[in-house]
Amino acid sequence: MSTPEPLPCDVAELRRMFLFERLEDWQLAWLCEHGRVEHAKPGWLIREGDPATCFYVMLEGEIALYRTVGGDDVETSRTAQAGVYTGAWSAYLGDRAPQVYTGSTKVLEPSRFFVLDAADFAKLMADWFPMAVHLLEGLFFGTRNTQEAVGQRERLLALGSLSAGLTHELNNPASAAVRATATLRERVAAMRHKLAMIAEGTHDRETITALMALQEDALARRADAVSADVLGVLEASDLEDRLADWLDDHGIENGWEIAPVLVQGGIDEGWLDAAAARVDPSALAGAMRWLGYTLETEELIAEIEDATNRVSTLVNAAKQYSQLDRAPFVRTDVHELLDATLLMLQMKLRGITVVKHYDRSIAPVPMFAAEMNQVWTNLIVNAAQAMAGDGTLTLTTRRVEDWCEVEVADTGPGITPGNQERIFEPFFTTKAVGEGTGLGLDISWRIVVRKHHGDLTVESEPGSTRFTVRLPYDAAG
């Protein structure tokens, strides 16, 4: 900040400033008594985030206003108009709001400023404009509270949507496991009954040994068949018909019930011929049903295993998404977060082709993982809604110098140039009433830019919209 030079305060000059033109003489005199005029050389006048100690009104000169974005100072405007003000303009809020400079101001050429200490500016506002202060307080805190309330609502809506999707996805494998377990109980009971019949029958040791050998061979063929998975639907159906005929020809009633299970187990006519040669004809029917029960039992166990693995995967994805087991700020593999978010949003992505262009070689990025998952959710849901269930969602990751970039692209209708300029504004939305709060992208921008010192940008044209998130590798939590 430039070293101030005390200069005389001229009431007539203050009166020419649009900010003071309607003040009475005694008020202008009070300003000169409590304030001061300072000369400032080119350089920083105030810095964003520093304690807000002074209110500045430019009498002459030129200044530029800046906001910090991703660790960089981004110029938002510049002006040479006398009377523009900067600094502790919210001092009248007192300790109810953070008293820090909300932006930076740079002096571009030698300038003069009327300077009022923050405490005097607060007293001026409270004593001279009490009604205006009440209105401004209401506007400031009302807007802030509304943003917080609607932001919380936005998060609850996202959580409800994810919970509904997770519940639906968990219900499918859980129901499959219940059905398979019920069927398995029936098949095990039938196998016990069949085993009792074998034990009470006249089968000799050699026949029973042959049955056990056939059972092990059938299970081995099933494992090979599952791995190969070479039969098409028509081929499998044709083979089922042939096996059913084989069973009928060998006096096995209702062979059509066993044939599908045998086909799934990789059994064909040649294997059945070999099996028939190893088993006494009187035991063939029982042997075939025993093998059918064995293969079906193995299939049901595989279904239950697949269902429980699916449930475990979903639970792990939910854990990954919520980041319940992570420290608040930690280096995290961005691909894990993206994949967990995609899994949680499966219902919303139905009909949409998901393409991943991941650079798995990039290093983990320091971040607040749970909050970044909210960003991925907002961007992916917006893309899905834009495509209305028909299009391609492309996720791309890459490292560019000291930044990790994540691009979320969709093939929707695009965003008009006018809307692109406003898309990160709070409460701005192009969705129908009731379908959006207009805070999703605002929240995402604040998480990426303000909390992670990164950047969030959009490029759009009909058929291609790309949101790019940039996160620094050297960010401090």
Whether residue 443 lies inside any domain: the answer is: yes
Whether residue 65 lies inside any domain: the answer is: yes
Which one has a higher pLDDT value, 126 or 162?
126
Residues 358 and 402 in one domain: yes
| Cα–Cα distance for residue pair 212/202, rounded to 1 Å | 16
Q: Please, which pLDDT band fits residue 96 given cuts at 50, 70 and 90?
A: confident
Residues 114 and 185 in one domain: no
Residues 15 and 49 in one domain: yes
pLDDT greater than 90 at residue 371: no
Whether residue 49 lies inside any domain: the answer is: yes
Residues 289 and 327 in one domain: no
What's residue 437's pLDDT?
Answer: 42
Residues 10 and 91 in one domain: yes
Q: What is the pTM of this model?
A: 0.45
Residues 6+ apart with CB under 8 A from 74: 66, 67, 68
What's residue 465's pLDDT?
Answer: 92
| Range(s) of the domain holding residue 107 | 5-128
Whether residue 159 lies inside any domain: the answer is: no
CATH number at residue 102: 2.60.120.10
Tens-digit pLDDT profile for residues 439-476: 578 778 888 887 888 899 999 899 999 999 999 987 54
Tens-digit pLDDT profile for residues 175-186: 777 777 877 777
Which one has a higher pLDDT value, 377 or 431?
377
Residues 334 and 421 in one domain: yes
Whether residue 140 lies inside any domain: the answer is: no
The rounded percent of the chain whose pLDDT value lies above 70 is 73
Residues 304 and 336 in one domain: no
What's residue 433's pLDDT?
Answer: 39
Residues 355 and 386 in one domain: yes
Tens-digit pLDDT profile for residues 129-139: 777 666 666 65
CATH number at residue 457: 3.30.565.10
Whether residue 468 lies inside any domain: the answer is: yes
21-36 average pLDDT score: 91
Whether residue 135 lies inside any domain: the answer is: no
Residues 262 and 370 in one domain: no
Tens-digit pLDDT profile for residues 29-57: 999 999 999 999 999 999 988 998 999 99
pLDDT greater than 80 at residue 421: no
Residues 465 and 383 in one domain: yes
Helices in 50-129 by DSSP H: which ranges?
118-128
Residues 288 and 421 in one domain: no
* Residue 402, SS3 per DSSP: coil
DSSP-assigned states of every residue in 195-207? HHHHHHS---HHH
Q: In angstroms, what is the C-alpha Rg of the chain?
A: 37
Helix or strand (DSSP H, E) at 375: helix 369-387
Whether residue 146 lies inside any domain: the answer is: no
| Cα–Cα distance for residue pair 320/316, rounded to 1 Å | 6
pLDDT greater than 50 at residue 157: yes
Nearest 10 degrees: CA dihedral of 57, 60, 64, 67?
-10
What's residue 112's pLDDT?
Answer: 93
Q: Which residues pair with 46 in a beta bridge?
A: 105
* Average pLDDT of the residues of the chain: 78
| Cα–Cα distance for residue pair 84/103, rounded to 1 Å | 14
Least confident of 110-124, 165-179, 217-231: 217-231
Number of domains in the chain: 3
DSSP-assigned states of every residue in 57-84? EEEEEEEEEEEEETTEEEEEEEE--TT-
The rounded percent of the chain whose pLDDT value lies above 90 is 24
